[in-house]
Amino acid sequence: MTFRCVPAFQPLSSDCSAPWNTNVDDSTGFISDLPLLKRVSSPSDVFCSVPGRLSLLSSTSKYKVTVGEVQRRLSPPECLNASLLGGVLRRAKSKNGGRLLREKLEKIGLNLPAGRRKAANVTLLTSLVEGEAIHLARDFGYVCETEFPARQVAEYLSRQHTSDPTESYRRKELIHATKQVTKELMDLLNQDRSPLCNTRPQHILEPSIQRHLTHFSLISHGFGSPAIVAALTAIQNFLSESLKHLEKMYPSGNSLSVSSSQSGVLSDTKPKDLGNELKK
């Protein structure tokens, strides 16, 4: 069975990159000033729109940045200062840029002290708004699902484990155990309900683990958990293909019919057959 990548964050009904009916002047929104919607009062309201950093020039996407996202960027763990926040929002540097930005933030109830120091290390992800980070994670998931050579890698790595039925049986047990643990992690990450863009979903997980996943989401701006799920999906596909290859070489009936002497040696050392456990 092929595992499909299930995004840790379900597609939003009003996606950050979707076209929107703007009440701002896009002609000056990214150079001379930050476009603000009038009467901003809710975290889900749009603060501004920014062009993507990763798009080709011929297909530049624009992403909506909500008031809630700006608040998240100003809060722990990042605590961006005026200079970094201005860069994220693609605001051109100017003599009074920091002061103007602080004034606009004050209008919506957000405080950005002058001379503030950032709290987190700057990475390439720091420059991305949540909409583009999620877009990147989804594209990465698509590539992992469709282009990762799971079968070829599985056949290549299984070659050294097909010369002996006993070794093949051991290999199958390890793969079953790995699939089980990997699936547990995928299921956990798919239940992450960290706030993103214009959503603040109801939590499913216990607060003791959700707060750590939220920290990871805030640092990666929504990229982290979906990207890990995408990578784990590729691993699951590799493991499934490995089982297929080993089963083709030594079907289960044959692999279990090891000589009594071999079985006696293995009885104290071989791990529990998780294949049957997973079927329960």
Q: What angle do CA 11, 15, 16 make, to 5 degrees?
A: 130
The answer to whether residues 37 and 47 touch, using CB atoms and an 8 Å cutoff, is yes
pTM of the model: 0.75
Report the distance separating Cα 119 and Cα 117, nearest Å. Answer: 6
Mapped onto helix, strand or coil, the DSSP state of residue 122 is: coil
pLDDT 10s digits, 47-89: 999 999 998 877 778 999 999 999 999 999 999 988 899 999 9
Q: What are residue 51's DSSP bridge partners?
A: 62
Q: What angle do CA 11, 17, 19 make, to 5 degrees?
A: 110
Please give the structure tokens belonging to residue 211: 């707060």
pLDDT 10s digits, 183-216: 999 999 999 999 999 888 999 999 999 999 999 9
pLDDT at 33 over 60: no
Mapped onto helix, strand or coil, the DSSP state of residue 64 is: strand
Q: What are residue 196's DSSP bridge partners?
A: 199
Question: How many Cα atoms sit within 13 Å of 172 on the Cβ side?
Answer: 25
Mapped onto helix, strand or coil, the DSSP state of residue 199 is: strand
pLDDT at 225 over 60: yes
Please give the structure tokens belonging to residue 102: 């602080």
**CB count, 10 Å around CB of 26?**
11
